[in-house]
């Protein structure tokens, strides 16, 4: 597979730099930005697995650290959803300014608390074309869910009972096109055999449906 971009990146945000991994296939028409959960990073094995699957589906991906090493050492920063949301918005705006991304649609894939920041960011960025949440904490974004316009898929493990309850509540607060998928036999981290493969299939199908490149309109006489 050929790529427009396949690099480690350092993303300048105000007076800090966030480390990331940016991979965009040469003919990709969309890029999915990942928002990882608390205590995780761009190296999340599960998010990397989803990203690799999306590359095969011809989607670009950006995995990045929401916090610097110094910030991550402050435990409460991992749950500062306002800060994490602002970081995601700022990184999205940085991505939009890159030449290779100017004709690409953008989506979010959020995991655990990262799903809350993805939903909050999508509520403020109408250009986001689709959101997928894996084992997400939408209770941390309940106040803005009705403002989310991007089609949203909520994926929850069948054994993750508390999170199923929270996602069901979020489902009814969302006003966009939305769906909830329960992965039978899966716990919160989807560590069971075949669970992450199911997540990949569900996410890939959702992005394929809602992140198609916008075709230029033209007049035929």
Closest Cα partner for 132 from 151, 105, 113, 160? Answer: 151
Which segment of 34-38, 101-105, 169-173, 215-219 scores lowest on mean pLDDT?
Answer: 215-219
| Average pLDDT value for residue range 1-15 | 92
| Average pLDDT value for residue range 75-99 | 93
Sequence spans of domains, the chain: 3-210
pLDDT at residue 215, rounded to an integer: 59
Q: Is the pLDDT score of 218 beyond 50?
A: no
CATH topology of domain 3-210: Rossmann fold (3.40.50)
Q: How far apart are CA 80 and CA 110, in angstroms?
A: 15
pLDDT tens for each residue of 99-126: 999 899 999 999 999 999 999 999 999 9
* pTM of the complete model: 0.94
Helix, strand, coil content of the chain in percent (nearest 5):
40, 25, 35
Cβ proximity of 25 and 55 under 8 Å: yes
């Amino acid at each position: 597979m050929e790529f427009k971009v396949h690099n480690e990146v350092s993303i300048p945000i105000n007076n800090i730099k966030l480390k990331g991994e940016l991979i965009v296939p040469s003919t990709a028409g969309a890029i999915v930005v990942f928002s990882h959960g608390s205590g995780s990073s761009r190296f999340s094995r599960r998010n990397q697995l989803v990203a690799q699957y999306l590359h095969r589906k011809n989607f670009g991906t950006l995995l990045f650290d929401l916090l610097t090493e110094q910030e991550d050492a402050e435990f409460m920063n991992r749950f500062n959803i306002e800060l994490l949301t602002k970081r995601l918005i700022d990184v999205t705006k940085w991505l939009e300014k890159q030449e290779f991304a100017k004709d690409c649609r953008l989506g979010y894939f959020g995991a655990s608390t990262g799903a809350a920041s993805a939903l909050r960011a999508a509520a403020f960025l109408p250009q986001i074309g689709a959101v997928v949440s894996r084992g997400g904490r939408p209770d941390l974004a309940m106040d803005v869910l009705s403002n989310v316009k991007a089609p949203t898929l909520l994926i929850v493990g069948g054994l993750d009972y508390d999170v199923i309850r929270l996602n069901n509540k979020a489902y009814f607060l969302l006003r966009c096109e939305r769906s909830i998928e329960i992965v039978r036999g899966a716990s919160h981290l989807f560590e069971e055999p075949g669970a992450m493969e199911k997540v990949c299939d569900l996410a890939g199908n959702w992005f394929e449906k809602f992140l198609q490149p916008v075709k230029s309109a033209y007049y035929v006489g």
